[in-house]
Amino acid sequence: MSKQQTDPNLKNKMLKLSRQVLENELYHSNHDLSLLESPELSEKAGIFVSLHIKEKLRGCIGRLEAHNSIYKNVIDLSKAAAFEDHRFKNLTAKELEKVKIEISILSKPAKVEGQTTVEKIMKIRPKKDGVIISNGHNNATFLPQVWESVPIREDFISDLCRKAGLTPDYWKYYELDISVYQVEHFEEE
């Protein structure tokens, strides 16, 4: 998507698409998803779809890289957030009534340069940057929204290390590759 704010109608279209995907899966509805296709949704972008019930995360799956169109990503990631997030049981039809859908459109990740991991971490902008850490096969990301629940930089990175399958203090002793990105996120009313 472009650097300017996404049109509210387009945001609503993406949220409606996500909702209809889940209704088709859980209520066996027959929404014709192709009616929500549009040229703007054919652009490629990294996207995350998050599901919340009463402000608590109920599923979140995303793609950092822009391999597919926004349209295809919203469809695939809505299903994945509901049924493939290993942290949660599959979403049920009863839960869908309470779910609030959030979509995050990501900028292209940029590598953070620095001599040490600590120097790189100090360049991260809390509450603005989503963060990707990697070390070999271990990698993880947190969207910028995670800063709201983990506002202290050191705790944020420790939780991210844990998510990546590393020890929480790994960043203090070993090198990590770090990239940052920004998001435009919006959710259902």
84-135: pLDDT as tens digits: 999 999 999 999 999 999 999 999 999 999 999 999 999 999 999 999 999 9
Is CATH 3.40.50.11540 the right assignment for the domain spanning 110-182? no
Examine the pLDDT at 61 and tell me if it is beyond 60: yes
Give buried/exposed letters for 70-103 (b at 16+ CB in 10 A, else e): bbebbbbbbbbbbbebeebeebeeebbeebebbb
Q: What is the pLDDT of residue 5?
A: 73
Confidence class for position 31, pLDDT limits 50, 70, 90: very high
Q: Where are the domains of the chain?
A: 8-106, 110-182
Instruction: Look at domain 8-106 and name its CATH class.
Output: alpha beta
